[in-house]
A = this chain, B = another copy of it.
Amino acid sequence: MRSERQATARDDTAERPARRAGRRPGDSGVAETILDVAEAEFAARGYEGTSLREITDKARVNQALVRYYFGSKEGLYRAVFLRRGEALTRERLHLLDELEARRRRPRLEEIVAAFLKPAMDLRRQEGGAAYMRFQARVQNEPGALEREMRRKVYEDSTQRYIRALQHALPRLDPAIMYWRMVFMVGAYFYAISGANRIEVISRGQCRSTDIDESFRQLVSFVVGGLRAPLLDV
């Protein structure tokens, strides 16, 4: 992850600048602070709606420091995406490796749970909910930058999961599995991206902040969808 961020900096051989007096004590690093602030700002107002100035004011750093670490606003945006996106992908692949290293063939619901659990767990992390909102915005951006970011972070692991799901449902036409992968991603994204749908729809009876319940509901629904016969409609 660090190497990703450095790759976007203009000059990654320069000395790290002295820490700014304005930063809060106890931060693990100024770059992390900038990423935390940028994540929250991009999540709340999107890339276009956020100025670098707002980020540097809230992070209490100057713009030169952002340029030093991230090169540009676009570099910072990319670094925000990669920081948790790559961690999410690593965790997904790790869980799938574990399932596949066991003696018995993974069950369908185990594969679905392994895919969805890292995303649900993100919501338990500080800033994780902001990342999911950020991420939901990125998904709606048709631009080349976002397409390339999504591909870089998600493509390989998605294809591995599709193969694992196809092994668990060998009689399903592979083309159908592609559609169902899209629907699975859509269902979890929408449920966890933070606009409180479940609270509105259930009139307060169900809570998106109940992560264990969200996870159980989601896995159950998706497993049913993956197993479903193709209807003539």
Count of identical protomers in the assembly: 2
Complex Cα gap A198–B178 (Å): 7
Query: Which residue in chain B gives the minimum CB-CB distance to A178?
Result: B202
* With contact pairs A142-B133, A200-B151, A225-B222 given, residues A183 and B191 touching in the complex (Cβ less than 8 Å): yes
Q: Which of B48, B190, B216 contacts A48 (CB 8 A)?
A: B48
Q: Is the CB of A181 within 8 A of B201?
A: yes
Contacting residues of chain A (196-233) with chain B, CB-CB under 8 angstroms:
197-198, 200-202, 205-206, 214-233
A-B CB contact pairs (8 Å), 19 listed = A46-B48, A48-B48, A48-B49, A49-B49, A133-B142, A140-B140, A146-B195, A162-B201, A175-B205, A178-B205, A178-B206, A179-B214, A179-B218, A179-B221, A182-B187, A182-B201, A219-B231, A220-B231, A224-B227
Q: Which of B146, B224, B230 contacts A225 (CB 8 A)?
A: B224
With both chains docked as a complex, state the minimum distance between the C-beta of A174 and any C-beta of chain B, in angstroms: 8
Complex Cα gap A229–B189 (Å): 22
Q: Indicate whether A158 reaches chain B with its CB closer than 8 angstroms.
A: yes
Chain A 151-165 against B: per-residue CB contact (8 Å), 1 yes, 0 no? 100010010001000
* With contact pairs A136-B140, A205-B178 given, residues A200 and B49 touching in the complex (Cβ less than 8 Å): no
Q: Indicate whether A100 reaches chain B with its CB closer than 8 angstroms.
A: no
Chain A 94-124 against B: per-residue CB contact (8 Å), 1 yes, 0 no? 0000000000000001000100000000000
A-side interface residues, number (CB < 8 Å): 68
Query: Which residue in chain B gives the minimum CB-CB distance to A142?
Result: B195
- Which positions in A face B, CB cutoff 8 Å? 44-49, 109, 113, 133, 136-137, 139-142, 146-147, 150-151, 155, 158, 162, 175-176, 178-191, 193-195, 197-198, 200-202, 205-206, 214-233
Q: Is the CB of A225 within 8 A of B221?
A: yes
Q: Which of B45, B200, B215, B221 contacts A228 (CB 8 A)?
A: B221
Residues from chain B with a CB closer than 8 A to the CB of A232 are 216
**Contacts A186-B191, A221-B226 given; 9 further ones with Cβ under 8 A?**
A155-B200, A162-B201, A179-B191, A180-B217, A182-B197, A216-B232, A216-B233, A220-B230, A220-B233
